[in-house]
Structure 1
Amino acid sequence: MRVDLFDFDLPDELIALRPAEPRDSARLLVVDPNAIPELSDYKVQDLPSFLRPGDAVVFNDTRVIPAQLEGSRHRDGAPGQQVSATLHMRVAPDRWKAFAKPGKRIKIGDRIQFGHSETACMLSALDATVEEKGDAGEITLHFDLSGPSLDEAIAAVGHIPLPPYIAAKRPEDERDRADYQTIYAREEGAVAAPTAGLHFTPGLFEQLDRLGVERHFVTLHVGAGTFLPVKADDTDDHKMHLEIGHVSADAAASLNAVKARGGRIVCVGTTSLRLIESAASDEGRIKAWSGPTGIFITPGYRFKAVDVLMTNFHLPRSTLFMLVSAFAGFETMHRAYQHAIETGYRFYSYGDASLLFRQALFPGQTR
């Protein structure tokens, strides 16, 4: 499909720079292409009223690390330009793939020193060698440290990598260390938050428990590639960046049992949906799964396991807007986003949420 079919105009003032307080007070646009009315306005606090006992909600428990590094390039013993690197996928105990800016002048073999200053302690000195160089500023960094020692140094030197549409308007601060993290985050490795999960509170969890809705956790370490624009003119020419994920055998068995007894799988965030769909067979059975996924979902994709999706509002021309258009219907999602813009919904990572019911494959199919 043509990428420009997924374009829309978004007023700048609708880009949220801070989350709603409390988290579950954010607005929730319910989108059901199989119902009348198709669009309804609620709050995230109302989510339990759209779920049933026996349903299962799937969360991505990845934890955002301070993956934004600032340093200087050195070549032949001479200091060079300042370099900003955003780590996006770990490939070995001492190696990370990263997006570097400016990337054109970086060469294989360059040394990059992160965290060095006149007042720096040894923990805040982090050095790496450029081992590989790819397209669009992507490089592979081979660090001098490895394993837990590298993790500690990154935590000391790095910053939370706020999405570019927020970072362009204000710097990261201490509030972001808590705001840009779900309350259930535990598996370190993401460089971007699974933002639909940011709306959940202990109180909302208690409501789901009382209703008899199961909660299950999977892990997909969100990479910085989620923020990259689609530069191709046609979706067939776009290449997704890989992200590392894991579905445990226990989680897979539990979700299969939910489906077998007629319950629905409700994914919180496009990341958990992409992981569940990666782990599902064509018949819809979910298996234990671990590894990289580059699944790219566009209209025409036949969903195998997921019934309902809660997600935030996404960028125009983005792979995520393509995904939601595939899930709830291309025309439906264009109408939904137009309604959201006209009624002042807040967009992107710190913005409001939508609850999407999967478009029926044929008339009369129930959700």
Structure 2
Amino acid sequence: MIRTGGEVLVGSVLDQGAGGDFPRSFVVDPIGTKVVFGSGRFSSHLVPEVDELGFSRVLLVGSSSSRPLLEAAKQQLTTRSVAVFHESRQHVPGEVVDSVVPLVTENGCDGILAIGGGSAIGAAKVAALKTGLSLIAVPTTYSGSEMTPIWGMTEGDRKMTGRDPRVAPKTVIYDPDLLQTLSIETAAASSLNALAHCVEALWAVGASPLSYSAATRGISEIMSGLERIADGDGTASEQLLVGSYLAGLTLATAGSGLHHMICHVLGGMYDLPHAKSHAIMLPYVLAYNFESLGSVKRMIEISFSTDDPVGRLVNLQRALGGEWTLGSIGMPEDGVGRAAVEVELSDQSANPRSLINGDVERIIEAARTGADPRSLMLPRRRMRG
């Protein structure tokens, strides 16, 4: 049981607490993606996993920040590494697609290896979609996108997304050692991005016992890991990576909703940083929906170990430092209305709280200026007694 805010919250999957008996080295294959997790696995398991999939001519996909790991992979794969693309960019703009896809045919590639964060894995997914090749992913941030069959790319100012089993990596190698040197800013933004997957999955259309269990445990792991970082603990990468794996699993199985649609629109229109946008929007969308969540509300309170999860998120962001507003990352004031209209064109009928005219604009504007997210909440329902 967890005592907080003057009441006792009775949990189920979280009764043993964050970090409890969760296995820290494991190999599972839950949804068609094999997961290899553990310290040192990049060095010890990359070649065996490439062998298992029968890759003989591999395209390596990364970004400028992952060049050292791309070089390490080239040395491991020797002659099987036949092409390298290291110019991935967030939101996968059309020019990235036009550059990476031809490398497959030009070099006779029969497999793709992505090493990096969401930008690298996103570019590799689109290459897999366009060519039909299988993909291995080695994530170096906490986004969780490596566990999903979701792809995205941007044409002009519009970001297009879709689901296709061909883009889901056949194997994901999670090695906490690769994330030890992430800056606090990057670790915080990508972890909160993963946290958003967990939170929204709890009320998504595809929610299930599997996604509930993964999402609640993911929330617990990520919140605990981020609070360790805020306290100056530099050894939280393993815990955060467990949380991001669970976050990707929830997104793959349950889907997403209003939060993700807002962030996709903002990314396409204004090229806002992907992970930071998700991190900023999370407390605002959660606050807007919180009092309309029914039994899921209690699940979130237990997962966050508090009856004020929005407040805990806001306090955590402050403890991590930096600015947590859309305005601080480039969201123009005169773009709020346009973005809201684009979001409203999507089907948000499954959102827990019915959206009325002006609500989406109000949510985005609050996040742009840094208003208290709790200003978006409905009044708390009082129990009769």
State if a TM-score over 0.5 links the two structures: no
> What TM-score, normalized to structure 1?
0.31
Greater helix proportion:
2
Identify which of structures 1 and 2 has the higher relative contact order when contacts are C-alpha pairs closer than 8 Å and 6+ apart. 1
Whichever structure has more strand as a proportion of its residues is: 1
**What TM-score do you get using the length of structure 2 for normalisation?**
0.30
